[in-house]
Structure 1
């Protein structure tokens, strides 16, 4: 096989820029709508590389007649963008059906929603093989290849079959389930064998790392290292996802696979710079005027059975039932982005959310007070910062979430201020943000107590808790995450 010249190859189904077209049909590359997050940080890794390639996909109805697209981009420094053509049918099968209907419910511990009937393993293999082929062709001898997320589970093994000389890292952006739940997948052996061909496998928190290690040991006969104490930044006990120790590596088929727990962070300075811009300050002032004299609760997520939106709304309804003192004194803004059409389970959830909101407003609303405001449209990042700056409480209650960056973004936006973060203990972020008010979204008693305590929390306690969480968010940024992952790989 022909070898390439890239010392660093990043493999991700997402592209480094958004592709747009002007009025004359000319293609333009624009930055992500959010200035924060993983994509800009990954893009900035090319500043440190002499040569690099980012591999993603593009939709092409006639991909059989078109070769991969290779583009030379110059920002933030010169690198190659290689985009693999996939038909709409391949994208639907690979991403929306097999990944979302088969893998997503297992990863998030909803085995009852797992569907094998609609999965298309052959297409999933085909797409992963295309990514692996491209990575092998781009990688220079001894190159570093960093692969992202479960959509590309099979890519590491396919690369390793052809390229023994490269170093391979894989980062899992979702939760990783326990061995008994993961075992439901009919393709569990192929997936594990692929991940075990990596040099480094990364997860957000020790709990997910340990689950992966147990799967490899129980299902593939790997040998695990003695557990070591988790890093000080992680909660060691007392919550659903806390772990006192973590397995640092496992051996399988004469290969040592290092395991690292390193959560993705935010870009706090970017957030704080944005909060003080004239546009965001104007939005914040408008929000403040609309909610003057009332406590403002903010929740931002999307329509998904993992996000706990219905559980949160029912807890809010109970609050208004049991504590009439809050009538007219509190408002909940729920930004719940609607799912793409065509997936019935998400459409049913959206309908349920809208029905609960309507019932709450019908039962308790007055001419001068709407208890819940629901937005199902995507909120701009600037507007979200405006809400963050004014929200007395940020209420994040997923039933399961790999990390949840919204919680960290709220903390970053509240530097020097009070505010209360109410956070599900089933989010990865809960083991980092110890001064959040943790809640169990499966428990009415826990949910009711958490929101009541948050609304009644004294200002002094709010400031103390927020200062502690701000320190954690500032220390473990998205840049720190990327440097830790790649630094570990290069030290092996």
Structure 2
């Protein structure tokens, strides 16, 4: 395949911009929020980079165009592909499977066919964009077949892959009918990155169990064929982070500090304000958190209006049945708690089913006395890091699930098993009553970790390791068994 012109190519499910098309066909766009594009934008601009991704709209087809200092390379998806590849295989099969089967995954061959087809299209776009000997960085569970397909198309490029969600134990992963194809798809990369060391270990166990390849420490050896030499694939943890310095600066602004005071006043100036911030997802443990808070009110350990809770639940995947059901259950639970324990004009739980700009989120973090992160399974959980970055006053306390990737790093948080409701209740009360000196000591340690290990350092670490892997131009993997959609019935 002919080489492109871009030394650095990012491949992700979504483009880093929200695109609008006017009636005359002209395009306008706005950068999407998120740390990934912030971290990679300088590298993109320095290396004339390209970003391959879906626009987020059905049947949006457009030639590559320049925006945000990089070449934006849209990949078109039909309504049927969105339903089968994205809502189906990615979020109905892989998401629950990779999150410890909190809900049951579904296995449909038509969904797999669409996943294969779309992954091949992303790989073809990346192959077209990358310069000779360039670097391609593929992101996340929606695109796990891209590395192997891309290596067959462009054996001259360095390929990295980063998985933003957990990678499950092989006993769970083994349920996937196409488990070997997914493993071999990932082995097309030179470097496979994960959030936690345990995720990397799970992947390496899957390689041992499902292939006959040699695994030694963090390295997998792909044997050469004919004149092609052996190739090494490294699996390693690279915990992602946020643009901590920018968030720290935002949370210090007079506008944010004034808004934080206003939030508390609007809630009746409670003595204790608890905060939960999540996508409305069954992995986030929102129901467990509400149950613990409701029982604290029922036990009389907390009372309204002295104590209040804000739950921000950003809309998520509302076309997927499990998410619609979760929303109903959460809203019923909030209504019951408010009905049982709220007072006239004072709700126990202030439920906000919206997305908010970063300024408002920073104000909420500054207003909250206790941040509750109760995920049942999470790749990282950047909300926990945002809360820490916002607390330059060294105030507040972080209650953090041990099942988040952030728990490996934020060891000074008060860690919980969210399934243990009594333990969660006790930890919430400990956070509320924590001695100010201990609270400052813990927050100071947390902030040191978050500010030093920011998203830029994450990108630099990953790309630094990838740069050390310099394959021969003819270093091609043994052809991976990624079937065409027609081959799967």
What TM-score comes out, normalization by structure 2 length? Answer: 0.90
Q: 2:384 aligns with which of 398, 404, 407?
A: 407
Could you tell me how far 1:251 is from its partner in structure 2? 2.0
Structure 2 match to 1:486: 463
Could you tell me how far 1:349 is from its partner in structure 2? 1.1
The answer to whether the Cα contact below 8 Å between 2:102 and 2:283 also exists between their aligned partners in 1 is no
User: Which sits farther off after the overlay, 279-288 or 354-363?
Assistant: 279-288
Is 1:128–2:119 an aligned residue pair? Answer: yes
Q: 2:409 aligns with which of 432, 451, 454?
A: 432
Could you tell me how far 1:136 is from its partner in structure 2? 1.2
Could you tell me how far 1:222 is from its partner in structure 2? 2.9
Counterpart-to-counterpart distance in 2, 1:219 and 1:207:
18
Structure 2 match to 1:71: 65
Structure 2 match to 1:194: 185
Could you tell me how far 1:156 is from its partner in structure 2? 0.7
Counterpart-to-counterpart distance in 1, 2:24 and 2:185:
45
Q: 1:255 aligns with which of 209, 218, 231?
A: 231
Structure 1 match to 2:83: 92
- Could you give the per-residue CA deviations for residues 311-359 of structure 1, whole angstroms, max 9, x where no partner exists? 1100001111223453421100000123343322111111111111111
Is 1:177–2:171 an aligned residue pair? Answer: no
Structure 1 match to 2:483: none
Name stretches of at least 5 consecutive residues in structure 2 with no aligned partner: 224-229, 470-489
Query: Which structure 2 residues correspond to residues 279-290 of structure 1 after superposition, within 5 A?
Result: 279-290=255-266
Is 1:204–2:195 an aligned residue pair? Answer: yes
Counterpart-to-counterpart distance in 2, 1:21 and 1:289:
42
User: Which sits farther off after the overlay, 474-483 or 102-111?
Assistant: 102-111
Is 1:53–2:30 an aligned residue pair? Answer: no
The answer to whether the Cα contact below 8 Å between 2:14 and 2:56 also exists between their aligned partners in 1 is no
- Could you give the per-residue CA deviations for residues 389-436 of structure 1, whole angstroms, max 9, x where no partner exists? 111000010100100000000000002322100011000000100000
Q: 2:40 aligns with which of 39, 42, 50?
A: 42
Could you tell me how far 1:266 is from its partner in structure 2? 1.1
Say if 1:19 and 1:392 are closer, same or farther in 2 by CA, change over 3 A.
same
Structure 2 match to 1:270: 246
- Could you give the per-residue CA deviations for residues 459-487 of structure 1, whole angstroms, max 9, x where no partner exists? 11111000000000011100000000101
Counterpart-to-counterpart distance in 2, 1:318 and 1:164:
58
Structure 2 match to 1:416: 393
Structure 1 match to 2:210: 219
The answer to whether the Cα contact below 8 Å between 1:172 and 1:203 also exists between their aligned partners in 2 is yes
Structure 2 match to 1:235: none
Counterpart-to-counterpart distance in 1, 2:276 and 2:368:
9
Could you tell me how far 1:134 is from its partner in structure 2? 1.2
Q: What secondary structure is seen at the aligned counterpart in 2 of 1:69?
A: coil
Counterpart-to-counterpart distance in 2, 1:325 and 1:348:
29
Structure 2 match to 1:243: none
Two-structure CA RMSD over aligned residues (Å): 1.9
- Could you give the per-residue CA deviations for residues 42-95 of structure 1, whole angstroms, max 9, x where no partner exists? 22321331x3221112367657xx6x521123x4x4x32111222122122111
The answer to whether the Cα contact below 8 Å between 1:147 and 1:170 also exists between their aligned partners in 2 is yes
Q: What secondary structure is seen at the aligned counterpart in 2 of 1:86?
A: coil
Aligned residue pair count: 462
Counterpart-to-counterpart distance in 1, 2:135 and 2:39:
17
Could you tell me how far 1:161 is from its partner in structure 2? 1.3
The answer to whether the Cα contact below 8 Å between 2:11 and 2:122 also exists between their aligned partners in 1 is yes
Structure 2 match to 1:5: 5
Could you tell me how far 1:119 is from its partner in structure 2? 5.0
Structure 2 match to 1:108: 99
The answer to whether the Cα contact below 8 Å between 2:280 and 2:327 also exists between their aligned partners in 1 is yes
Counterpart-to-counterpart distance in 1, 2:270 and 2:106:
48
Could you tell me how far 1:31 is from its partner in structure 2? 2.2
Counterpart-to-counterpart distance in 1, 2:249 and 2:26:
32
Could you tell me how far 1:137 is from its partner in structure 2? 1.5
Is 1:15–2:15 an aligned residue pair? Answer: yes
Structure 2 match to 1:372: 349
Q: What secondary structure is seen at the aligned counterpart in 2 of 1:147?
A: strand
Say if 1:325 and 1:28 are closer, same or farther in 2 by CA, change over 3 A.
closer
Structure 2 match to 1:297: 274
User: Which sits farther off after the overlay, 274-283 or 391-400?
Assistant: 274-283
Could you tell me how far 1:191 is from its partner in structure 2? 0.6
Counterpart-to-counterpart distance in 1, 2:251 and 2:419:
34
- Could you give the per-residue CA deviations for residues 136-172 of structure 1, whole angstroms, max 9, x where no partner exists? 1222221111100111111111111122211110000
Counterpart-to-counterpart distance in 1, 2:188 and 2:4:
21
The answer to whether the Cα contact below 8 Å between 1:59 and 1:87 also exists between their aligned partners in 2 is no
**1 or 2 for the larger relative contact order (CA 8 Å, sep ≥6)?**
2
Name stretches of at least 5 consecutive residues in structure 1 with no aligned partner: 227-247
Structure 2 match to 1:241: none
Could you tell me how far 1:285 is from its partner in structure 2? 2.4
What TM-score comes out, normalization by structure 1 length? Answer: 0.90
The answer to whether the Cα contact below 8 Å between 1:221 and 1:252 also exists between their aligned partners in 2 is no
